[in-house]
Amino acid sequence: MPDAIEVRKVPIHSVADASELAKLIDDGVMQADRVIAIIGKTEGNGGVNDYTRIIADRAFREVLVEKGADADAVKQVPIVWSGGTDGVISPHATIFATIPPEHVVPSEEPRLTVGFAMSEVLQPEDIGRVAMVAKVADAVKVAMERAGITDVADVHYVQTKTPLLTVHTIRDAKSRGKTVWTEHTHESMDLSNGCTALGIAVALGEIEMPTDADVMHNRDLYSAVASCSSGVELDQAQVVVVGNAAGVGGRYRIGHSVMNDALDADGIWDAIRSAGLDLPERPHTSDLDGRLVNVFLKCEVSQDGVVRGRRNAMLDDSDVHWHRQIKSAVGGVTAAVTGDPAVFVSVSAAHQGPDGGGPVAAIVDLG
């Protein structure tokens, strides 16, 4: 049985700041050598060259080592950064740590559990193809097992980080006589995320194994719990499975739903209800009563350029990429629900939730 989980959300005060993690450890809320995952938002451009992710990664790992965690072990801790805090979204990190068994009150109620795995190496020619789908699916199953989850219905959030294509990796593939799905590096961000989501969906039985032709084209194929990010930091799929398991104990529980479009605030409320909070039919931020730890969303521009029957110009805008526009819009909707701009809203949601919408996961403190 895996250990119970402590989870806290902390602000990031500057690009290289990890002082709030240090404070949690100094205050005894969690131990440095028990931190098992960190998921956060950094304030960069969210693109291929968003180095704020690398800066934040280094800052948080340095604090863990400084506070007593083994340096080699810290290198293996999954830290997933989503770049870009457009609009009101505020830079922050959600930190997951295990609790010493002697400090946990046993409970058979479903409570938060986390599992982590790395896939086989993803070659540049794998990205966007069934080979990547299969490698991701295998890693998801390993992470589920490590989380102590036996029923796929108990998986509510799968956060991944995968490689995208760069000029260097494209050149590498060509030198070996291979082809790549695209030579546009920014497009490969959407591609890597979407292909990864299909791997998650396959692992959880949400869909059958797709074909290469389905990737990025058949938007009816998606996962309702996938949250996929990509970057230049790694060459494998880094997979964090978050769900509930009976017997682990702890105070926290996770649930999920989907936003059907960019304005679907009800989808966010449904995720919070799914996590276990009893809310009125027409809830207000005040009904959360400080029990919501964080929400995690993916968002995407609808491929038809329409929201609720009204045309928008995001896909035609040559000045500001649609990634930044939809992230800002959904970030505002989300913050209006939670009353807190420190929300995890990430763009590029191909095959993650319905077209034009996206998955929502919510973690709550049940006390």
Q: Using the CB atoms, write b or e for 183-211: b if 16+ within 10 Å.
A: eebbebbbbbbbbbbbbbbbbbebbeebe
Q: Give the separation between CA 163 and CA 52, rounded to whole angstroms.
A: 16
Residue 283: both structure tokens together: 């809830």
Half-sphere exposure of 127 (CA within 13 A, CB side): 32
Nearest to 347 by CA among 333, 320, 361, 329: 329
H helices of the chain, where? 19-26, 52-66, 71-75, 130-146, 167-175, 185-203, 265-275, 322-338
**What 3-state class would DSSP assign to 61?**
helix
Residue type, 305: G
Helical packing angle, 130-146 and 185-203, nearest 10° = 50
Question: Tokens standing for 240?
Answer: 């964090």
Q: Which residues are known catalytic residues? A: 161, 229
d(CA 196, CA 285): 33
CA distance 331 to 336: 9
**Helical (H) or strand (E) element with 97:** strand 92-98
